[in-house]
């Protein structure tokens, strides 16, 4: 379980949120600039709150007064807006980037390796391994970024508007994939979106965020898959 208490002074408002995420999909829903990405960045460790506490399954990521756990040690998968794929590496190199090396210093035939094969098949990008990011469509980049984040076997997955740049059809496909992946991986997913339908479709719980505060928290009203 991820437990989050963040207080942080931002240029336009004061961010003050408290919530927890179990092995479910929680959506942070709200207008642009309401602090949602900052919340994700605090959980990942890319920025730090001014005060508060962040812990995952009892392990402290951030605690006021103590040195925060470095990003590298947090086992957090992060799907960035615009995907942040390394442009100078192939899809295969991107995906392998976070994976532990095998005995010979190369990715070995570990569980991760065979799990990776399944993941690639589920998401359908195995044929793109030698391509470079600039050769991929938006939907393909999104899938590569997703596999790259999951290839490290993280304890939680953060997604920052992962589908906003996609056309409606691709978007629907990717939403279904996300739901399937979540059912398979059974880790907390924390997703940011400002698309109402998407929030309703994907979320188990929706947190409405506005001007740095959670103004409403409810279970999703639609029947999910």
Which residues face 219 on adjacent strands? 205
Task: Pick the piece of the chain touching another protein (CB under 8 A) from 11-19, 78-86, 111-119, 121-129.
Answer: 78-86
Which span (9-17, 85-93, 164-172, 202-210) binds another protein, by CB under 8 A? 85-93
Q: How far is the CB of 197 from another protein (least distance, A)?
A: 26
Q: Is 165 in the site for another protein (CB under 8 A)?
A: no
In DSSP terms, 157 is beta-bridged to: 77, 189
Query: Does the protein bind another protein through residue 45 (CB under 8 A)?
Result: yes
24 vs 10: CA distance, rounded Å: 28
Sole binder of another protein in the list 22, 59, 71, 121 (CB under 8 A): 71
Whichever of 6 and 206 has its CB closer to another protein, that residue is 6
Q: Are 16 and 213 in contact (CB under 8 A)?
A: yes
List all residues 6 or more positions away from 168 whose beta carbon is below 8 Å from its beta carbon: none
* Alpha-carbon gap, residue 102 to 104, rounded angstroms: 6
- In the chain, count H helices and then E strands: 6, 10
When the beta carbons of 157 and 209 are compared against another protein, the nearer one is 157
Among 4, 15, 17, 149, which residue interacts with another protein (rule: CB under 8 A)? 149
Count of other CB atoms within 10 angstroms of residue 130? 10
Q: Is 159 in the site for another protein (CB under 8 A)?
A: no
Minimum separation from the CB atom of position 28 to another protein (A) = 18
Q: State yes or no: residue 10 binds another protein (CB under 8 A).
A: no
Count of all residues that appear for the chain in the document: 225
Name, in order, each residue with C-beta under 8 angstroms of 34's C-beta and a sequence gap of 6 or more. 209, 210, 211, 212
- Judged by CB under 8 A, the residue of 56, 76, 120, 178 near another protein is 76
Binding residues (CB under 8 A) for another protein: these are 41, 44-46, 71-72, 74, 76-78, 80, 82, 84, 86-88, 97-98, 133-134, 148-149, 152
């Amino acid at each position: 379980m991820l437990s989050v208490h963040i207080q942080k002074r931002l240029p336009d408002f004061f961010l003050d949120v408290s919530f927890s995420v179990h092995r479910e999909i929680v959506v942070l829903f709200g207008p642009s600039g309401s602090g949602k990405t900052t919340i994700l960045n605090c959980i990942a460790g890319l920025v730090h709150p001014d005060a508060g506490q962040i812990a995952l399954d009892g392990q402290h990521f951030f605690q006021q007064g103590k040195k925060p756990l470095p990003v590298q040690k947090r086992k957090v998968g992060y799907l960035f807006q615009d995907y942040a794929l390394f442009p100078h590496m192939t899809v295969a190199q991107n995906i392998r980037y976070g994976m532990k090396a095998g005995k010979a210093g190369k990715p070995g035939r570990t569980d991760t390796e065979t799990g990776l094969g399944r993941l690639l098949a589920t998401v359908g990008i195995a044929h793109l391994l030698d391509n470079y990011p600039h050769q991929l469509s938006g939907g393909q980049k999104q899938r590569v970024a997703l596999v790259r984040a999951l290839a490290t076997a993280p304890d939680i997955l953060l997604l920052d508007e992962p589908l906003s740049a996609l056309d409606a059809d691709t978007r629907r496909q990717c939403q279904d994939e996300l739901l399937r992946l979540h059912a398979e991986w059974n880790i907390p997913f924390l997703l940011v979106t400002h698309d109402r339908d998407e929030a309703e479709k994907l979320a188990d719980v929706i947190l409405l965020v506005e001007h740095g505060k959670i103004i409403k928290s409810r279970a999703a009203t639609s029947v999910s898959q």
